[in-house]
Amino acid sequence: MIETQKNGIIIKGISGFYYVESENTVYECKARGIFRKEGITPLAGDRVKISIGANGKGWVEEIAPRTSYLERPPVANVDRIYIVVSAADPSPSPIVIDRLTAIAEDKEIEPVIVFNKTDLANVDEYIEIYKKAGFDTYTVCCSTGEGVDALRDTLVNKINVFAGNSGVGKSSLLNLICPEFDLKTGEISQKLGRGRHTTRHVELLKLSNGGYVADTPGFASIDMEKQWIYKENLQFAFREFKDYIGECKFTSCSHTGEKGCAIGDAVEKGIISKSRHQNYITLYREMEEIKDWERNKE
C-alpha cells in the first residue's frame, strides 16, 4: 500500500483514535504499537508525523519532543494557560488562581489571568495584586463583548488552555472569541453555587489567526499534588519571590514564617502581596502532606 507522510498536530483523541490536523485537513489515525510498548500516550497538542494510506486513514508514526504538558487534563505543548475568573457568581477565589498560576509556572507555561463578568462587580483589587506579581491580566464581559477583541489578539499562533472554576464563563467566552465553535454553555447550579461541566474531552479548536484553544473540564478542581510540585520547588512557582530566593538568613528557609526570611520581609514592606504569600503557605502545607511513595506511584 502506498502511504503518504505528513506532519501535523493532534487536535483530539477519543477511544484510541487520534484526529490529526495537517495542511488544513483532519485525518483519523491510530497510534503505532511502539508507543504503547514505550508507555507513551499521544495527547492533544502533540506535534506528530503521520502516514496516510490510500483509504485516507492514518497512523501516528512519530511524536516530536514536548515543550510542556499537563497530566490532568492531558494536553501537550501548551504555550499559555488563561485562568478565567468570575467577578461574581461565583466570586473570585485567590487560592484557586494561585494554585493554577503555580501549576503553570512549574510546567513553564505562561499564565494569563482573565476577569470575566466585570459588569457584576469591581475587580480592581485583584488586578492590582496580580499585576504587582507580574502577570498579564485582562477584563472581559461576555454579556457586552467588552474586552473580547483584545483577548482574542493574544491567542495568535499559540496553543492556549482556558481554565478556571465551573460557572466562570469559559465556554461563553470561547463562543465570543470564535462563534463558530458554538460550545455548549452550562447553566449555573443555584443549589450548588457552581456550574456543571459540559465538555468531556480535551479538544484543540483552531482560530482563524492560527492559534488553538482548548476548553478543559474540571481543571480548577485538580488536586495540586497530582501535578507533583515538590514543596522545595514551590518557591520558584511564585515569580515575585525570584529576587529574594537565596537571600534569607537560613539556607533551609521555607518562607512560611521563619525569622530572617527575605520573602517575609518583602511581604511586610508591601512589595509582595500578603494574600499571595498566604496562599503560598497554604499550598506549601499541602505539599508537606504528600509522601514520596504517592508521588512515585504513577
Distance CA 259, CA 227 (A): 30
pLDDT digits (tens, 9 = 90+) for 140-188: 999 899 999 999 999 999 999 888 887 888 888 988 988 767 765 544 3
Mean pLDDT, the chain, as a whole number?
86
**What pLDDT, on a 0 to 100 scale, did the predictor assign at position 194?**
40
**What pLDDT, on a 0 to 100 scale, did the predictor assign at position 290?**
73
- Residue ranges and CATH numbers for the domains of the chain are 4-65 (2.40.50.140), 70-221 (3.40.50.300), 228-296 (1.10.40.50)
Label residue 292 left, alpha or beta by phi (over 0 means left) and psi (-120 to 50 means alpha). Answer: alpha
**What pLDDT, on a 0 to 100 scale, did the predictor assign at position 203?**
85
22 neighbors 50 (Cβ within 8 angstroms): yes
Single pTM value for the model: 0.85
Percent of the chain with pLDDT over 70: 85
| Confidence tier at 1 by pLDDT (50, 70, 90) | low
96 neighbors 127 (Cβ within 8 angstroms): no
**What pLDDT, on a 0 to 100 scale, did the predictor assign at position 43?**
95
Distance CA 21, CA 125 (A): 42
pLDDT digits (tens, 9 = 90+) for 59-103: 999 999 999 988 877 899 999 999 999 999 999 999 999 999 999
pLDDT at 52 over 60: yes
**What pLDDT, on a 0 to 100 scale, did the predictor assign at position 223?**
44
Backbone angles phi, psi at 91, to 5 degrees: -70, 155
DSSP bridge partners of 188: 195
Which cell is 107 given? 510546567
pLDDT at 219 over 60: no
